[in-house]
Structures are given as structure tokens and as C-alpha cells.
Amino acid sequence: MTWRRIVSAAALALSGFAACAAAPAPPTVDLKILAINDFHGHLKPPPGGFRTADASSPSRTIALPAGGAEYMATAVKALRSSSPNVVMVAAGDLVGASPLLSALFHDEPTIQSMDLMGLDLAAVGNHEFDEGAAELLRLQRGGCHPKDGCKGPEPFTGARFQYLAASTIDTASGKTLLPPYAIKRFGGVPVGFIGLTLKATPRIVAPAGVAGLAFKDEAETINALVPELKRQGVATVVVLIHEGGEPTGGHDECPGISGPIVDIVHKLDPAVGVVVSGHTHQAYVCRIDGRLVTSAHRFGTLLTEIDLRLDARSGALLASQATNHIVRHDRYARDAAQTGLIARYEKLSAPLAQRVVGRLSQAYTAAPDEAGESMLGRLVADAQLAATAAADRGGARIALTNPGGLRAPLQPGPGGVVRYEDVFASQPFSNELVTLTLTGAELKTLLERQFGENVPSEPRLLQVSRGFSYAWDARRARGDRVVPGSLKLEGRPIAPGESLRITVNSYLAGGGDGHRGFTEGRDSLVGEKDVDALARYVNAGPAPVDAPRITRVSP
């Protein structure tokens, strides 16, 4: 194996000798880390696989069938067999925003799948809090769901792997919700693993999901734990963090990486030698300040192999390297244990998953246009308006939905058939629809906050229903980017004092994604689940969604 040395051996001068002799190499211990991130309950391979450069034409990309628990388990076994010291880790979002096969059972199948693979440690991600802290603890400890009971084919005993949550504080006790770190020994050498999620978790999770919790700064949390680990003999620290970056190269490269992970790594104690990251659904292998920083895309399409060489006496990190392996279906066979697990849950979920809800003549993607709209966003907003327009269902005139809730294209099958599992893949959170009243002025203020100080230059805009429209201008000052007079309903201007019945999902109604303005809504009426509204709308035959509702008047 070829190693990229982090440190070089120094010559040893021995007094009293006529010639210098080379010092013997210190004994070393090799450690292999297998890492994943952002699995999101994808027990079955994700549509589209993994896109990579075409070997025959590097300027083009091709989609390789990849991912899925059956194939990943085989890849893990193959890499385990090559080393006596192996640990498998994850950098958050193992669960949440999952396909129906996992979500229907509150992600218990995914926890069991990870146990079958031999996962050892996992950082919590923001989606681990989708159903709140109590549900996360249930996934760790086991037991039946408090509302839906025991629905799986066997008792759920909880994760055998350990979740780590170094920066998540239970405000009532002042302690971390879950252990902040774990120490594992390999060939007698202790290695510390710190796990944590991004400090912005409260801004991207429904407020109810993080009630009673505080999220501390990532770098400060890690650095504060290093002395404690050192007192226990740890010289090398591996960080599992649900935060990431945006690179520009291939899945084993790292040119021009940017994003929060870069700033975090720059601040870390020198004892931190490896950072396994996630959240941004990107693939990269980087060197930042001499540290190895990795990410394995999403949905189990990649598996990161990290090789470390440690000084057997001091525990210091001597060398490190990493490779992102594509979990290709033509390279790895299906694992029988995973196949059996999936089959047991498919048998239970099939009546709902395979139910035909309608037909579509085209696919609806969540890719935004230059104004910030997507075809799927328009379709979902229209479905929510249709579900709540009647007076006894809310009397809605406008519907808005968050782009983060649109998780996969709505892709019809053969003959245009759409099944319930297809609409669930597009909207997997099962939020309830909430119709509330805002004034025209309150709506404009809420829309302006999409362009606030803490958003990217290309904001992720709320998707809007037919009949409602507005324009925004990137050249205007923040707080005044909605073009005056452009807010219209059925072609007429909306007056500032006009009362509007508006439908959103319960995530937004609770202030999710920082949209606190919805919490000021009045006369709220709770309706059906968003996924069911979409299924019914598809069944009725949706109207075309190609007409834009949002206009961007400048580059």
C-alpha cells in the first residue's frame, strides 16, 4: 500500500559511533474506517444511481446503477476482509426523508439494516430529529412506537450501533442527549470518535422536533472534548459531523471546495486527523489543513474507505488516505441477509405502496428554474390548494410549500402509472396541511425573508400555487426584493390589508426553515396529509404546470 506521509522520520544521531545508523521504524497499527452519510432510509437502490465521468469521454457523465442496502452490505464485507482492524461509521441522516418502505415503519428497517452491516458509530444529523428527541432515543434503545405501536415483522430492539451527539444539549439537564464520543481500541491503540450535527439544525427542522434542545458550535464543541480524550490516552481523533461542503471535481477529488465544513476544519485542534462529513449530499476526498476530509454522496451510492496508520506506542496518526468506492450493481452482489430483511418489510408495506393512485403523462422534477420554481413544486402547491379550497376544508386561495420537502422526482412507471410509493418518495414527511389567515402585508414580509442575510445568493424559494404570482429583483436591497405591486391573485394586485386564506404544510406552519411568519397566522384549520393530497390530485388528473408563477426580473 502506498502511503502519503503526514510526518517524516528524522535521522537519529548516536554519539560515540563512527557512523550514523538508521533508527528502526516504530511499530505501527493500521486501521480501516468505512464511512457513509445521508443514507435516508434508502434500503432499495435510488432511482438514477450515481452519476460519474464517462471513462470513454471524460467531458460527459453517465449514470451507474448504484446504492441500496443489499449491494452496500456486500461492499462492506469485501472491504472488511482486507484488514484486521475495521470500524464502520456514519455522518448523520441515516433516517428521515426516507422512502415508504422505511418511513412506514418509522425507519426501524433502516436501523436493522445498519446493524446487519455492522455499523459501529453514527453522528446524529438534522433528520434524526424529524420526529423529535424521544423518537431518536427510541430508535437507539428500542421499543414500540408510542402512537403506531409495533408494526414490523419482529420486535424492534433498537440500534446496536451507538449514536453520538456531542453538540446537542438537553436544556433541562444540561447534558448531551446522547454520548458525545466513543473510544475504540485497535491493536491496543485508543482512537477517539466525536459525533455531532450542524449548529443550524434548529433552523431546518420543525420546531417541535428540537423542542427542549440546544445545538452548540461545531468546532468549539470538538475542541473542548479533545483534552478529555487526551487524558484517556487518545492521540488521534476522528470527527463524524453532519455538515459538509461543495466541491467542483469528481467523487475522489476536492478542487475548490467551499462551504461550512472548510471553516470548521480550519478551527480544529491538531489532534483531529480525519473528518467524515455529510449533509450536502456531495462526494469528495479532501486535504484541508493537512487533515483528511471525506463525504460519500447520499442514499448509499458510495462507500468511503479510509486507511490510517498509527504509531503503536504513542497512538499518533502517521499517515492517511481515502477512496470513495461506487457501490455498483455490476460489481457487488446482493447480500442475502439484507434481501431477506427487505422482503419481510415489503410484504407488510405492499398493499399501500403498490396502490395505483393515477396516471401521469410526464415526470415532474424538483430542479428549480432561474426564478426558483420547479415543476414538482408547482404540482404539489396546486395539489394542496385543491385539497383546501372548499369552504369546509379551509377556504384557501393560495398554497405555498417548501422546496426542501420535495425529495425526489415524481416519475410515472410503465403506461404512466403512478403508485402511492411514488408520490411518497416525492413527499416523504407526511406533514398535515394547515390553512391559516395572513394579510397581504404579512405575506409580502414573509416572502422578503426568503432573501434575508442568512440565505445563499440563489435562495430556495417557497413554491406557489396557480393563480398567485409575484416578481423579485436580485438587484434590489435585501428586504425589498419583491417588486412593488407584483403580488397578484388571479391577475389582480393584492392589497396590504387584504385577508388571505393560505395553505402550508405543518412544518412551515410551525416556523420551519426559519419562516416564523407563518406562526402568526390566524384561524388555523388542520387538514389531511400532504402526500395524500398529492395522491388524490394525481388521481383527478392534474392541470398543466408549465406556466410560471414567480418571475425573476434580473440575473
Spatial contact of 322 and 307, defined as CB atoms under 8 Å apart: yes
Percent of the chain at pLDDT > 70 equals: 94
**Could you give the residue ranges of the DSSP H alpha helices within 188-335?**
201-204, 218-231, 260-266
With b for 16 or more beta-carbon neighbours within 10 A and e for fewer, the 115-144 pattern comes to: ebbbbbbbbbbbbbbbbbbebbebbbeeee
Provide the pairing of β-strand 356-359 with 28-36.
Answer: unpaired
Does residue 162 fall inside a structural domain? yes
Total number of domains in the chain: 2
pLDDT value at 114 more than 90:
yes
Number of H helices, E strands in the chain: 13, 28
The CATH code of the domain that includes 366 is 3.90.780.10
Mean pLDDT, rounded, for 364-371:
94
Task: Specify if 28 maps to a domain.
Answer: no
The domain of 101 spans 41-341
Q: Can you give the pLDDT at residue 454? A: 52
- Same-domain pairing of 299 and 444: no
Mean pLDDT of 547-551: 94
User: How sure is the predictor about 555, in pLDDT bands with cuts at 50, 70 and 90?
Assistant: low
CA distance 139 to 315: 33
Domain boundary among 341, 369, 398: 341
In 136-290, the DSSP E strands lie at 162-164, 168-170, 175-176, 181-186, 189-197, 213-215, 236-242, 272-276, 283-288
- pLDDT for residue 326 is more than 60: yes
Mean pLDDT of the residues in the chain: 93
Judged by average pLDDT, the poorest of 8-17, 148-157, 448-457 is 8-17
Calculate the CA 292 to chain-centre distance: 21
- Residue 407 is predicted with a pLDDT of 92
197: domain CATH number is 3.60.21.10
Contact 510, 208 (CB under 8 A): yes
Q: Is residue 46 located within the same domain as residue 92?
A: yes
Interior angle at CA 540, CA 535 and CA 543, nearest 5:
100
Last residue of a domain, one of 316, 341, 366: 341
* pLDDT score, position 22: 56
Examine the pLDDT at 2 and tell me if it is beyond 70. no
Contact (CB, 8 A) for 52 and 76 = no
Structure confidence at residue 312 (pLDDT)? 97
Domain boundary at 309, 341, 373, which?
Answer: 341
Is 543 in the same domain as 501? yes
For residue 47, the model assigns a pLDDT of 87
The more confidently predicted of residues 295 and 58 is 295
In contact, 461 and 450? CB cutoff 8 Å: yes
Start-to-end CA span in the chain (Å): 50
Angle of CA points 99, 425, 524, to nearest 5°: 105
pLDDT per position as a tens digit, 388-443:
999 999 999 999 999 999 999 999 999 999 999 999 999 999 999 999 999 999 99
Q: Is residue 2 part of a domain?
A: no
Whether the predicted pLDDT of 17 surpasses 60: no
Binned at pLDDT 50, 70 and 90, residue 59 comes out as confident
Q: What is the pLDDT of residues 221-269, one digit of tens each?
A: 999 999 999 999 999 999 999 999 999 889 999 988 999 999 999 999 9
Checking if the pLDDT of 21 tops 90, the result is no
C-alpha cell read off for 60: 460527459
Q: Does residue 26 fall inside a structural domain?
A: no
